[in-house]
Amino acid sequence: MRFPLALSAKIAGHIIKHKLRKTPKFAMVLQLEPLHTCNLTCTGCGRIREYSTSLKDIVPLEKCLQAATECDAPMVSICGGEPLIYPKIEELVNGILAQGRIVYVCTNGMFMRKKMKDYLAAIYSPEVETKLKKLLDEGLISDQDADTIRKSDEAARKKTVIRPIRWMYWNVHVDGLEYTHDLIVEREGVFKECVAAIRMAKILGYQTATNTTVYKETHVQEIEDMFRFLSSLEVDAHTISPGYEYDAAKKDMVKRLGKQPEDFFLTRKMTREKFKDMEKWADRFTIIGTRVYQEFLAGKRELTCTAWAIPTYNIKGWKAPCYLMTDGHYNGYQEMLREVKWEKYGVVDGVARDPRCENCMVHCGYDPSGALGTNYQPGDNWKNLKYNFGARPRPYPASPQLFQRAFNGVSVGKGHLAPAKAALKTAGLTQEGADTEFYVQQMKASAAAGASSGANRRSNSEGCGTGDTSQRDELLT
Ligand code: SF4
Ligand code: SF4
> pLDDT of 262-294, one tens digit each?
777 888 999 999 999 999 999 999 999 999 999
Please indicate, yes or no, whether residues 317 and 444 belong to a single structural domain of this protein: no
Q: Which atom of ligand 1 is nearest to the CA of 46?
A: 8
Instruction: Give me the pLDDT at residue 445, please.
Output: 52
* Ligand 2 atom closest to the CA of 361, numbered from 1: 4
CB 303 near ligand 2, within 6 Å: no
- Of the pLDDT bands very low, low, confident and very high (cuts 50, 70, 90), residue 434 is very low
Looking at residue 446, its pLDDT comes to 47
Residue of 357, 363, 375 to mutate, ligand 2, most atoms within 8 A of C-beta: 357
pTM above 0.75, yes or no: yes
Q: Do 252 and 302 reside in the same domain of the chain?
A: yes
What pLDDT does 408 receive? 87
383 and 430, same domain (yes or no): no
Q: Indicate whether 308 and 428 sit together in one domain.
A: no
What pLDDT sits at residue 44? 74
Do 228 and 155 sit in the same domain of this protein?
yes
Domain extent for 41: 5-412
- Domain with residue 86: its CATH number is 3.20.20.70
Of 86-95, 234-243, 402-411, the range with the lowest mean pLDDT is 402-411
Residue 475: the pLDDT is 40
Q: Which residue has the higher pLDDT, 134 or 262?
A: 134
- Please determine, for residue 76, whether its predicted confidence score (pLDDT) is greater than 50: yes
Average pLDDT over residues 168-184: 93
Determine the atom of ligand 1 nearest the C-alpha atom of 185. 6
Separation of alpha carbons 47 and 55, rounded Å: 9
Domain end (from 391, 412, 433): 412
Chain-centroid distance of CA 278 in Å reads: 17
80 closest CA partner among 116, 41, 31: 31
Same domain, yes or no, for 392 and 427?
no
Q: What is the mean pLDDT of residues 299-311?
A: 95
Compute, in angstroms, the gap from residue 407 CA to the centroid of ligand 1: 21
User: How sure is the predictor about 252, in pLDDT bands with cuts at 50, 70 and 90?
Assistant: low
Residue by residue, what is the 3-state secondary structure of the chain?
Answer: CCCCHHHHHHHHHHHHHHHHHCCCCCCCEEEECCECCCCCCCCCCCHHHHCHHHCCCECCHHHHHHHHHHHCCCEEEECCCCHHHCCCHHHHHHHHHHCCCEEEEEECCCCHHHHHHHHHHHHCCHHHHHHHHHHHHCCCCCHHHHHHHHCCCHHHHHCCCCCCCCCEEEEEECCCCHHHHHHHHCCCCHHHHHHHHHHHHHHHCCEEEEEEEECCCCCHHHHHHHHHHHHHCCCCEEEEEECCCCHHHHHHHHHHHCCCHHHCCCCHHHHHHHCCCHHHHHHHCCECCCHHHHHHHCCCCCCCCCHHHCCEEECCEEEEECCCCEEEEECCHHHHHHHCCHHHCCEECCEECCHHHCCCCCHHHHHHHHHHCCCCCCCHHHHHHHHHHCCCCCCCCCCHHHHHHHCCCHHHCCCCHHHHHHHHHCCCCCHHHHHHHHHHHHHHHHHHHCCCHHHHHHHHHCCCCCCCCHHHHHHHC
pLDDT band (50, 70, 90) for residue 418: low
**How many angstroms is it from 87 CA to the middle of ligand 1?**
17
pLDDT of residue 451: 37
The reported pLDDT for the residue numbered 58 is: 94
Ligand 2 neighbour 346 (Cβ under 6 A): yes
Residue 17 shares a structural domain with residue 128: yes
pLDDT of residue 250: 64
| Angle value at C-alpha 393, between 389 and 394, nearest 5 degrees | 140
Residue 388 to residues 80, 95, 242, 393, Cα–Cα distance (Å): 28, 27, 21, 12
For 45-53, what is the mean pLDDT?
84
**Among 364, 384, 412, which residue terminates a domain?**
412
Kindly state the average pLDDT of the residues 167-177. Answer: 96
pLDDT for the residue 290: 93
Could you give the CA distance from residue 244 to residue 360 in angstroms, rounded to a whole number? 6
C-beta 362 within 6 A of ligand 2 = yes
Q: How many domains does the chain have?
A: 2
Domain match, 86 and 170 both = yes
Q: How far does residue 82's CA lie from ligand 1's centre (Å)?
A: 7
Do 408 and 454 reside in the same domain of the chain? no
From 142-146, 186-190, 233-237, 447-451, the region with the lowest mean pLDDT:
447-451
pLDDT-based confidence at residue 350 (cuts at 50, 70, 90) = confident
Residues 407 and 423 in one domain: no
Mean pLDDT of 337-366: 92
pLDDT averaged over the chain?
86
Question: What proportion of the chain, given as a percentage, has pLDDT over 70?
Answer: 82
Query: At 344, is the pLDDT very low, low, confident or very high (cuts 50, 70, 90)?
Result: very high
Query: 3-12, 143-152, 365-374, 445-454: which range is least confident on average?
Result: 445-454
- Where does the pLDDT of residue 141 fall: very low under 50, low under 70, confident under 90, or very high at 90 and above? very high
